[in-house]
Each structure stands twice: as structure tokens, then as C-alpha cells.
């Protein structure tokens, strides 16, 4: 006879098996509703529904050709600004993801990426010594954790195209270039009428503090304020009070600020004033507008003019349905040509994100994002490229004697506009040796040097760097030499050599 402990264990096992059987039956009934065969129409009721999971879709060959054109265009713009790419896993450890989000529950230890910033920040924290500064672009699938809204263009699985600049730089210099890249990318995609709306999170935090918003409600109220471009104030206030639990008198105080900000929009101070100064150098102030800060830091929306964004296209009406959905995965048929889309790009600073994964010192960094041939050929290729080029930059704009940050920006913009890949150091007054150290490390073939005298005379000095790279050898017999030419001659001179 079995002992009492053995009987208890046996009963526990039987109970667990019964629960498992009950779960399997429930799953089966959900997939194949009972009674279908009794109705004499089992073939119809049990027919497999062919569709993609909710929040996802297939892409046809024609749509893929359009997507590939978009990706290649963006890559060309990103590389022109010295961007490099890395690859990170499509999922991260839950402890890492929960530092910024509550991730999708796909396992007990990991979650799919909600965006590419968290994996990038984790990469920087792990490789900060090797990559103290980096300009990185990333084009890959990411996953939305909340419920998808297909009628608003919000899918659960979608591609995200990022460009990020990370490192310790002087204020607003990398921020201005990120906005310049955004402008160039949209223009290259033949999106002509858009407005880049620029917000300042510190101003928003200050407004919330003055109005009495509790610290624990800052993020949820920020998400409501972010809808001011799409919804009237009455609707936003209703969400704050009824859904977010904010006292009505506090919401009323917040509502006074959009009107105040409109009256003082032209009065920019501190970082915003410096940012718009640099945007003026890049020639994109007509596409940029400072707004009442919202939850996102920057966003680009389609507009009817350079200063007034249009209202986002409303979501389309669904096709009439004959019956109620059988389960939550059933969704309405949508004419995707009519899907409403508001913001087409967004970004901002995430200075503290790296610090979540690294030491205090590492946390100070700021962040504003095939081959062919035989094995033998590949081995020879690896041996001969001992110092390979990680980026495609062709020209580095160097300042001599004085910082000349605006002149360097202006010259770099001229080079970008004609397709020459150029960079400059994000310091107001960089040391000459530090600039050439960057060039030597990245094997950039041409240094275009600017000093006070060259600026006055409308000339530049071009130094042709000696390069041992298997990828790129600049100048041939001219390597190491230096020439002085006029600004008008610079671009044709460079194009001739780069094209050859």
C-alpha cells in the first residue's frame, strides 16, 4: 500500500493533469467552436482562416520595390553624414527593456525591441571605450507593445529608420545636424511640404512643475499633451482629468500655456536660440518651428506650407461587417490607401538612457538614430585591409586657429548637397591634432582646412591624406601633399578625384 505522502503526491499530479487537459480543451474550443459538425456545415465552420497576425501585414513585390528605394535613399543620406551601422539582437533581456518600457511578454527573460534606442544604449554601455563617439544609422524591424491601430498606421511590427549621434559634444551642434539629416532625408524622398516642429522637454517639465502636476503623473500627462496637434484642448483636458486622474484645476493651469507660448514664440533663449542659429547655417529654419513642448522632442509632419502643418488625415471608415468578430484577433478590412498618418518622423535627446546601463562616468554621454567571391578571395581581402574603413566619409572639414563652427557647418552643407560625404568635429573650438586624429583613425582621404585668412580670401587648403586602406587610397602620388584653391573650385576639384 502506498504511503500517505505518496498518495498526496499522486493526487497532486492528477490535479495538475486535469488542469492541463482543461486548458487544452479550452484552446481547442477557441480554435474550433463546438457544434460545427452538428450543424452539418463543418467544412465551412472549420475552414482555416488565412490572414496575418493582428497588427502585421504582407508586402507585395511592388510595395517592396518602393520600400527598397526608401531604404537606399535614406542610407545614402546617412552615409553622407558619416553614419555607420551596427547589428543588435531583435530581443533584449527583460531587465534591460524594463528600464524604459514595459515590454511585450514573449518569455520570462526577454522581450522584443520596442525601438532601437534601448539596444543602442546597451551597446554603447558595453563598448564605450571602443566607441566613445559614434554616428550610427539603423534600419530594422521593431515591435509595438500596445494594441495596434491599423486605421492610424500603427502596426505591431514595423520598420524603423534611425540616425543617432552619441558622445560628448558642445551644445546643440549634433542636434542641429540630426535635424539637417531629417530635412535632407525627407527632401530626398520627394516630400516637399513638411514642418519640423521642435520642442524642449525642460520647458515642459518646468510648466508641469509650476502647474502642480505630481511627479508620478508626469509621463502620462506628457502623452496627453502630445496630442494637442491632433485634438482640441477640451478633448486633451478630458483625458487628463477623467483618464489620467489629474485635478481639474491643474489641467486648467496647463491649458493657459499654449496661448502664452504663441505670443512669445519668437523669443528663444539658451539652447533653443543656439539651435536655431545653427539651423540657419544649414538653411532649414524655414522648415523648422518652435512649439509648446510636448512629450516628443521633435517631430516632422506633412504641411500645406513651410510653417503650418496640416491636420492628420482622419482614419478611414471600415467596410461594413456581416457579423460580430469571433475573437479579438479578427479585425476590420481597411483600405490602406486611405489610412491616416500624422507624424512621419520623430526624435529627440536621450542623454540619461546610456547611464541606466553603465557607470556614472559612462552615463555622461549624450545621444540625440554583402559580400561575394570565394573563401580564398575573402581571406586575401581580410589580410590586405588590416586598417579597414568603417565609414564612407570622404572629406573632413578642419578648422585652423579658430573654431569657425558656422563656417565648417556651412561648408559641410555645401558638400552634402552635391553628394560628397563629409564630417566635422562637434566642438566649438577643436584642437587641430584632435581633428587629424579622427581623420587618421577613420582613414578619411581629404582634409579641407579653414582658417581666418582662408575665410577672408574665399579659399581653402586641401590636404590629401596618405591611406594604407585596401578599401580606399586617396590621391595616389599626391598622398600627403597640400593645395590651396578657391571655394568655387573646391567642389569640382573634389568631384573629379572622388569620381575617379
408 belongs to an annotated ligand binding site: no
Non-local CB neighbours of 88 within 8 Å, separated by 6+ positions = 113, 116, 119, 120, 122, 123
Are 92 and 114 in contact by the 8 Å Cβ rule? The answer is no
Helix (H) or strand (E) holding 300: strand 298-302
- Give the integer Cα–Cα distance in Å for 75 and 147: 30
Non-local CB neighbours of 295 within 8 Å, separated by 6+ positions = 204, 219, 222, 223, 225, 226
Non-local CB neighbours of 458 within 8 Å, separated by 6+ positions = 486, 487, 488
- Give the integer Cα–Cα distance in Å for 224 and 356: 26
Chain length of the chain: 500
User: What count of Cα atoms within 13 Å lies in the side-chain half-sphere of residue 58?
Assistant: 6
- Give the integer Cα–Cα distance in Å for 107 and 112: 10
Q: Is 244 exposed, middle or buried (0-12, 13-18, 19+ CB in 10 A)?
A: middle
164 belongs to an annotated ligand binding site: yes
- What are the residues facing 224 on neighbouring strands? none
- What are the residues facing 135 on neighbouring strands? 165
- Give the integer Cα–Cα distance in Å for 448 and 495: 13
C-alpha cell at 382: 581580410
DSSP 3-state of 450 = strand
DSSP 3-state of 495 = helix
160 belongs to an annotated ligand binding site: yes
- Give the integer Cα–Cα distance in Å for 265 and 407: 28
- Give the integer Cα–Cα distance in Å for 85 and 138: 6
Torsion region of 115: left, alpha or beta (phi above 0 gives left; psi -120 to 50 gives alpha): beta
Which residue in 57, 33, 56, 54 sits closest to 45, CA to CA? 33
- Give the integer Cα–Cα distance in Å for 294 and 348: 11
Q: CA quadruple 319, 142, 341, 146: dihedral positive or negative?
A: positive
Query: Known binding site: residues?
Result: 144, 160, 164
Query: Known binding site for L-histidine: residues?
Result: 144, 160, 164
Amino acid at each position: 500500500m502506498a504511503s500517505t505522502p505518496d498518495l498526496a503526491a499522486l493526487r497532486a499530479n492528477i490535479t495538475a493533469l486535469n488542469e492541463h487537459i482543461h486548458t487544452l480543451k479550452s484552446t481547442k474550443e477557441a480554435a474550433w467552436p463546438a457544434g460545427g459538425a452538428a450543424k452539418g456545415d463543418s467544412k465551412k465552420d472549420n475552414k482555416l482562416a488565412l490572414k496575418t497576425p493582428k497588427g502585421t501585414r504582407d508586402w507585395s513585390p511592388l510595395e517592396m520595390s518602393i520600400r527598397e528605394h526608401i531604404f537606399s535613399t535614406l542610407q545614402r543620406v546617412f552615409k553622407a553624414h558619416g553614419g555607420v551601422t551596427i547589428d543588435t539582437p531583435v530581443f533584449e533581456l527583460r531587465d534591460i527593456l524594463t528600464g524604459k518600457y514595459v515590454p511585450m511578454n514573449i518569455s520570462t527573460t526577454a522581450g522584443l525591441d520596442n525601438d532601437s534606442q534601448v539596444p543602442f544604449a546597451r551597446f554603447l554601455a558595453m563598448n564605450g571605450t571602443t566607441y566613445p563617439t559614434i554616428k550610427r544609422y539603423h534600419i530594422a524591424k521593431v515591435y509595438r507593445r500596445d494594441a495596434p491601430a491599423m486605421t492610424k498606421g500603427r502596426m505591431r511590427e514595423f520598420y524603423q529608420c534611425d540616425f543617432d549621434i552619441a558622445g560628448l559634444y558642445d551644445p546643440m551642434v549634433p542636434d542641429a545636424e540630426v535635424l539637417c539629416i531629417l530635412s535632407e532625408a525627407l527632401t530626398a524622398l520627394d516630400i516637399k511640404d513638411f514642418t519640423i516642429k521642435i520642442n524642449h522637454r525642460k520647458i515642459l517639465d518646468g510648466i508641469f512643475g509650476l502647474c502642480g502636476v505630481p511627479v508620478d503623473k508626469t509621463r502620462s500627462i506628457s502623452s496627453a499633451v502630445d496630442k494637442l496637434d491632433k485634438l482640441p484642448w477640451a478633448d486633451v483636458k478630458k483625458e487628463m482629468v477623467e483618464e489620467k486622474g489629474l485635478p481639474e484645476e491643474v489641467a486648467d493651469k496647463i491649458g493657459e500655456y499654449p496661448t502664452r507660448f504663441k505670443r512669445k514664440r519668437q523669443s528663444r533663449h539658451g539652447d533653443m536660440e543656439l539651435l536655431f542659429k545653427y539651423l540657419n547655417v544649414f538653411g532649414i529654419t524655414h522648415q523648422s518651428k518652435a512649439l509648446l513642448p510636448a512629450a516628443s522632442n521633435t517631430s516632422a509632419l506633412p504641411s500645406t506650407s513651410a510653417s503650418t502643418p496640416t491636420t492628420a488625415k482622419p482614419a478611414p471608415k471600415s467596410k461594413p461587417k456581416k457579423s460580430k468578430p469571433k475573437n479579438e484577433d479578427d479585425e476590420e478590412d481597411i483600405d490602406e490607401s486611405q489610412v491616416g498618418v500624422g507624424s512621419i518622423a520623430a526624435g529627440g535627446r536621450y542623454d540619461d538612457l546610456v547611464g541606466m546601463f553603465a557607470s556614472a562616468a559612462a552615463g555622461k554621454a549624450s545621444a540625440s538614430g554583402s559580400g561575394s567571391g570565394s573563401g580564398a578571395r575573402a581571406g586575401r581581402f581580410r589580410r590586405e585591409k588590416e586598417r579597414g574603413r568603417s565609414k564612407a566619409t570622404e572629406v573632413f572639414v578642419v578648422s585652423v586657429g579658430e573654431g569657425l563652427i558656422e563656417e565648417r557647418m556651412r561648408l559641410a552643407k555645401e558638400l552634402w548637397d552635391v553628394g560628397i560625404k563629409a564630417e566635422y568635429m562637434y566642438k566649438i573650438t577643436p584642437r587641430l591634432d584632435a581633428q587629424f586624429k579622427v581623420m587618421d583613425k577613420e582613414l578619411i582621404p581629404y582634409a579641407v582646412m579653414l582658417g581666418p585668412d582662408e575665410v577672408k580670401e574665399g579659399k581653402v587648403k586641401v590636404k590629401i591624406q596618405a591611406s594604407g586602406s585596401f578599401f580606399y587610397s586617396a590621391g595616389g602620388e599626391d598622398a600627403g601633399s597640400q593645395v590651396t584653391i578657391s571655394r568655387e573650385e573646391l567642389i569640382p576639384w573634389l568631384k573629379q578625384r572622388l569620381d575617379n
